[in-house]
Structure 1
Amino acid sequence: MTVGTQWRPDGDGGESGDGEARQIRVVVADDNPVVRSGLVALLEATGEVRVLGQASNGGEAIELTRRFAPDLVLLDVRMPLMDGITALRTLSGVTKVLMLTYTDNDEVIRTAIRNGAAGYLVHGTFTADELAAAVRDTVAGTNNPLSPAAVAALMAAVQGAEDRPAPPPRERSGGRTAAARPGHGLSAREAEVMDLIAQGRTNREIAERLFLTEKTVKNHVNRIFAKLGVTNRAAAIARWLGTAVEPR
């Protein structure tokens, strides 16, 4: 475990003392020291990110997160002592987590999304600029970055669900029957927005597609999250597409 030696609290968590915008505070967790060093160098070169510490396993990632309360944890899947998927169950309840790994197994991806990952990126499928944008978007909550493998895993789950016999239709408020996929109480417009979110669209893209303002889309997204009982787009997609584990 390595702690960032240059980190100092910014006080109120907004702007720094010299009036500059506050940097995004990150913990990097990967058991490969070469990968960790490369990620740290890449992120800090943007001038937007401050790496608070580096972890070589899930337990260290949890310890650093509890110590520094970062804005984001970049988390590998396969690590010794405690793997990333196990650590994610704790980390996702404390801060936002972006999976950053070589693992592209469908079930691992779906489990990560179910456990609260805000995004899932596979090494070799993104550029340095795309990673920096993914970090910004994840922290801002404007997008949940998914590599093609992650999108494919979610789509495979949906297709598998569609291949299963549909449950009997059930009544919705007003006496109308619902489709096989539950509506979760979403209005027609909210369902339209949620379908676009599931396609990986950003708020801006949704606004352009539906001829709405971004503020209106954001309001729809907030209401959708509340109705689905989730806090991020990845979890919303899993719930909407039927790949989330529902409470018994």
Structure 2
Amino acid sequence: MSILEAGGVEVVGEAVDGTQAVELARRLRPDIVLLDVRMPGVDGVAAAGPLSVLSKVLMLSYDTDADVIGQAVRNGASGYLVHGTFEADELVAAVHDTVAGRSSPLSPSASRAVVEALRREPAPLQAAARDDPGLSPREAQVMDLIAQGRSNGEIAGALVVSEYTVKNHVNRIFAKLQVRTRGAAIARWLGTAR
């Protein structure tokens, strides 16, 4: 029995490369796909795009390159966990939370890499994205904290509000930015969404 199965996650398929992952996802329609960055043929970063249309995508990799992580998020990955930075129970929780839409998990090194990659984009794009996305001042505060890689609990603590209030802000932000994941919201907020 795998770690995931022990945590109540049904594993419906396994793929050896990105092409097979997309084929299996089309056929099996899983709630979430766990992908490594480095795979033969079509790698996980490239596969994240078509897979994110079919289900949520959670990257699991040793790769901490900011460009790789940023591209995976821009391609639709809901989260990015770096091996060695999480325990088995944290992985199971991340899978459940991602499927339920409660979070977009990022390992601390992945969070820093996402912000670094996104901030390296040309300034005119950043300014254009922030001109008027329609966020209230409080939503803009929440979005700034999301872009720093903060969890809903950390945001609630920083703003002295409940996690429920933060969750409501996050849902409104996602609707206004027309995104489904924290990674996509960060990309749109920092002006790097394609």
CA deviation string 1:120-151 (max 9, x = no partner): 11111211121112112211111111122212
The 1:216/1:70 distance shift into structure 2, 3 A limit, reads same
Residues in 2 aligned to 1:145 and 1:193: alpha-carbon distance in whole angstroms: 16
Asked whether the equivalents of residues 110 and 243 of structure 1 are also in contact (C-alpha less than 8 Å), the reply is no
CA RMSD, Structure 1 to Structure 2 (Å) = 2.2
Q: Looking at CA atoms only, which structure, 1 or 2, has the larger radius of gyration?
A: 1
**Higher RCO, 1 or 2 (CA under 8 Å, sep at least 6)?**
2
Partners of 1:229 and 1:131 in 2: CA distance? 27
Q: Distance in 2 between matches of 1:180 and 1:197?
A: 16
Unaligned runs of 5+ in 1: 1-39, 168-177
TM-score, normalisation: structure 1:
0.70
* C-alpha separation in 2, matches of 1:241 and 1:88: 20
Unaligned runs of 5+ in 2: none
Under a length normalisation based on structure 2, what TM-score does the superposition of the two structures give? Answer: 0.87
The answer as to whether partners of 1:142 and 1:202 remain within 8 angstroms in 2 is: no
1:155 corresponds to 2:115: yes
2-side partners of 1:113 and 1:93: how far apart? 13
Cα 1:64/1:230, change in 2 over 3 Å = same
1:24 aligned residue:
none
Alignment CA distance shift 1:180-1:135 (3 Å) = closer
The answer (yes or no) to whether the contact 2:37–2:59 under 8 Å persists in 1 is yes
Distance (whole Å) between structure 2 residues aligned to residue 217 and residue 134 of structure 1 = 19
Q: Which residue of structure 2 lines up, in the alignment, with residue 122 of structure 1?
A: 82
**Structure 1: distance between partners of 2:189 and 2:119:** 13
Identity value in percent: 62
Structure 1 distance, partners of 2:164, 2:11, is 31
Structure with bigger strand share is: 1
What pairs with 1:1-248 in structure 2 (closer than 5 Å)?
41-46=2-7, 48-157=8-117, 159-160=119-120, 167=124, 181-245=130-194
